[in-house]
């Protein structure tokens, strides 16, 4: 694939299983055939997050965890998970409530605004 062409790939994934998401993302990365190296920034969507009231307004952390599994096998210099806070609330609170803070610690990857 030429580096000048843009491509969107959609895959169905019925569950938030780490094994299933890792497999689906592996297919996508293979189809894209783009080498991953250097500094990598993962930007999930976290509009808002609250464990008690708001559960579906952010990318499920397992989606990012699956990508971190793939990136572990790449020649990356640095991996960061980041998002800009909304509603005037610090992003670190949404990272904690959504589960990204725990995932970043598990994979030893910085996360935050």
Q: 40-89, pLDDT tens digit by residue?
A: 998 888 878 877 887 778 888 899 999 999 998 888 888 888 887 667 77
Q: Which residue has the higher pLDDT, 69 or 110?
A: 69
Helix/strand/coil percentages in the chain, nearest 5: 35, 20, 45
Assess whether pLDDT exceeds 90 at residue 98: no
In angstroms, the CA 48 to CA 94 distance is 6
Say which residues have a Cβ less than 8 Å from residue 37's Cβ, sequence separation at least 6: 74, 75, 76, 77
pLDDT at 80: 87
Please give the share of the chain, as a percent, with pLDDT higher than 90: 25
CA–chain centroid gap for 80, Å, is 10
What pLDDT, on the 0 to 100 scale, is given for residue 22?
Answer: 94
Please tell me the least confidently modeled range out of 31-35, 45-49, 61-65, 105-109.
105-109
| pLDDT attached to residue 111 | 67
């Amino acid at each position: 694939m030429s580096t000048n062409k843009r491509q969107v790939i959609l895959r169905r994934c019925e569950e938030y299983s780490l094994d299933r998401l890792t497999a689906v993302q592996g297919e996508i990365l293979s189809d894209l055939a783009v080498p991953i190296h250097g500094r990598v920034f993962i930007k999930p969507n976290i509009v808002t997050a609250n464990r008690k009231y708001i559960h579906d307004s952010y990318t499920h952390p397992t989606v990012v965890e699956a990508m971190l599994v793939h990136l572990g096998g790449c020649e990356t210099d640095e991996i960061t998970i980041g998002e800009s806070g909304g509603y005037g609330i610090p992003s670190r609170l949404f990272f904690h409530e959504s589960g990204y803070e725990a995932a970043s610690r598990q994979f030893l990857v910085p996360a935050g605004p």
